[in-house]
Amino acid sequence: MSGCAERADRGTGTWLLARPRAGLLGALGVCVGALVGLMSVSSPKMAIALVLATLLAITLLVRPALGGYVLAGVVPVTSGLRAGFPIPHLRVSELLIGAVFLVLVVSARRAASVSWGALDLALLAFGIGWAVCGAADAAARGQSLSLSDLGTLVGQFQWLLIYRGMRLALRTSEERERGFLVLVAASVPVSLLAIGQQLHVSSLDAFLATATGSKGLTSTGIFQRATGPFGQWTVLAGYLFPVIVPLVALGIAGIAGKRRRALLVVVCLDLVALALTAELSAIVMLVVSVVALGVWAKRAKRILSWLGGGALAGAAIIGPFLAQRITTEFSASHVTGRSALIGQTLAFRMWIWQSQYLPAILGQPLSGYGVVLPAVVSWPYPESQYVGLLMEGGVIVLGLFAVLTWVMLASSTRAAKSSDSLGSALGRSLAVMTVLIIPMDAIWPYMSNAGMPQVLFCLFGLLPAAGRLAGSSAASPAPAPVARRPSAPWRPPSAALEPWAGGARA
């Protein structure tokens, strides 16, 4: 091999296999062994976690794409687990995000670096604005922040780490397709847990309450709102919504191909689980998203037939459950002066905003109060993404969030025009979801909780343009100097109209 070819191979190969590293690996093994020995005496769980983290790091150094699969399949599902379960003092999802991103960044070759785009910069600006405003507010008020408060200050950076981690790990069309399938497949056990809760599977509620830190579930006749591996039913709905919409987009476009039946089973399970959350905002917006995607694809007749069949099936299977939810929502409540057209939960939120949050916001509108609420607010839950942003970061953070939303919409609409069939479907679904999440966030902080943002930014990381390298238009690094020309967007091997089959291709 010539010198030029060797340099090209080093630039595109994995970091661990690019050259012999026996000395470094030996020193690392000695250090890890010593730490495991010391920790096994005082904290066996931490010792096991260190061993698993080391194995994960070595695996990612050999196969970086596995980091993208971990981000897509494990992080969103575990984002609802409480801190300390199962690893003491740590939250599993955040630990995985940090570990995977760190390994990918440290091991990335210069030739395999990923350029910064508008969405990267918007995420970075939002994270910095959130952290700076929170720290400044704490310093101005003389507050001492706890470890949990400090975690909240830097918590918004995980969106950026997920997005860039996906871009670093999944470079080719095949890898991005597998990443999407992993994300979709991970929703199956989540939905099964939700269905198991409704069926009162033995000890399942108690286990999930322990794992998520929730207070457990309360049954009232047939009406019990499923939570799955999350602490609240709304978080589960927020997780399922961005998983279902891209699958609907694939179905409308007719590109599911050989995996049509398997994806249909996943959609059915996820729809049942979403209905069992009884979260009306997510259910209504899902219907709106289906209609919007159908109109965008100019297939309104197919959508009407889907909605008609879905309505009949839903009425037969979970109709009584949803009827009970609607009856409960619009029944009489303690909130006086409530219109009959306004549900009691929305009326309660409006009362909280008017009586507690809005007066506090008007008292310090520019930068808010940071992560510690003022004494005038007795209800600790803002019940709205925008109210929460104004309370914690003021107009500054709310403006940065608005810019981020605009960049998300621009990125997704640009990807919707891609010739890559899967990328175009993901772009359309993300554009529709970005718009619909705006009113959803008005009545509950979906983007500040687990579930939804983790899935969303994994999907953004799977868009075709996300795989391009710095200084190159190629979708993936070339294996040899002769293959430096940009790789064309993937098209089915036999005909341009052949449905997408997913997975690896010959």
Q: What span, in angstroms and rounded, lies between the C-alpha atoms of 135 and 9? A: 45
Q: What is the pLDDT of residue 475?
A: 40
Which residue range is the domain that position 381 belongs to?
A: 10-181+220-225+277-476
Residue 92 lies in a domain: yes
Q: What is the pLDDT of residue 42?
A: 64
Looking at the domain assignment, is residue 308 inside a domain? yes
Number of DSSP helices (H) and strands (E) in the chain, helices first:
20, 0
82 Cβ contact list (under 8 Å, min separation 6): 91, 211, 212, 213, 231
Identity (one letter) of the amino acid at 285?
M
497 domain-assigned? no
Is 266 within the bounds of a domain? no
pLDDT for 322 equals 63
Query: H helices of 43-91, where?
Result: 44-62, 65-73, 75-78
300-346 tens-digit pLDDT: 776 777 666 666 666 556 666 666 666 666 565 555 455 555 667 78
3-state secondary structure of 143: coil
- Return the closest-CA partner of residue 70 out of 156, 184, 166, 164: 166
Is 188 inside a domain boundary?
no
The backbone torsions φ and ψ at residue 60, rounded to the nearest 5 degrees and listed phi first, read -70, -30
pLDDT at residue 7 tops 60: no
Q: What is the DSSP string of 170-214?
A: --SHHHHHHHHHHHHHHHHHHHHHHHHHHTT-TTHHHHHHHHH--
- The predicted pLDDT at position 25 comes to 55
Helix (H, G, I), strand (E, B) or coil at 220: strand
**Of 469, 468, 422, which Cα lies nearest the Cα of 183?**
422
- Closest to 464 measured CA to CA, from 504, 497, 417: 417
Domain presence at residue 213: no
Three-class DSSP category at 504: coil
Q: What is the pLDDT, as a whole number, of residue 200?
A: 83
């061993």: which residue's tokens? Answer: 51
Cross-strand partners of 220: 223
Angle at alpha carbon of residue 434, lines to 431 and 435, rounded to 5°:
90
Task: State yes or no: pLDDT of 141 exceeds 90.
Answer: no
Please confirm whether the linkage preceding 86 is cis (ω < 30° from 0).
yes
For the CA atoms of the chain, what is the radius of gyration? 24
CA end-to-end span of the chain, whole Å?
Answer: 27
Report the alpha-carbon distance of residue 440 to residue 282 in Å, rounded: 7
Q: Would you state the pLDDT for residue 19? A: 53
The pLDDT of 217-245, averaged and rounded, is: 82
Lowest-confidence range among 19-23, 103-107, 413-417, 425-429? Answer: 19-23
Q: Is residue 233 part of a domain?
A: no
Does residue 149 lie in a domain region? Answer: yes
* Alpha carbon distance 293, 302 (integer Å): 11
Average pLDDT over residues 29-46: 62
**Dist. CA 176–CA 162, nearest whole Å:** 14
Query: Quick one: pLDDT at residue 308?
Result: 67
What's at 444, amino acid-wise?
W
Instruction: Tell me, yes or no, if the pTM score tops 0.85.
Output: no
Reported as a single tens digit per residue, the pLDDT across 362-401 is 988 888 888 888 888 888 889 999 999 999 999 999 999 9
Kindly report, residue by residue over 439-472, the tens digit of the pLDDT. Answer: 999 999 999 999 999 999 999 999 986 434 343 3
Burial class (CB in 10 A: 0-12, 13-18, 19+), 48: middle
User: Using 50, 70 and 90 to split pLDDT, how confident is the model at 143?
Assistant: confident
Please count the structural domains in the chain. Answer: 1
The dihedral of CA 417, 422, 423, 427: what is its sign? positive
Is 70 exceeded by the pLDDT of residue 223?
no
Looking at residue 215, what is its pLDDT? 65
CA angle 249, 257, 195 (to 5 degrees): 60
Residue 480: pLDDT band (50, 70, 90) is very low
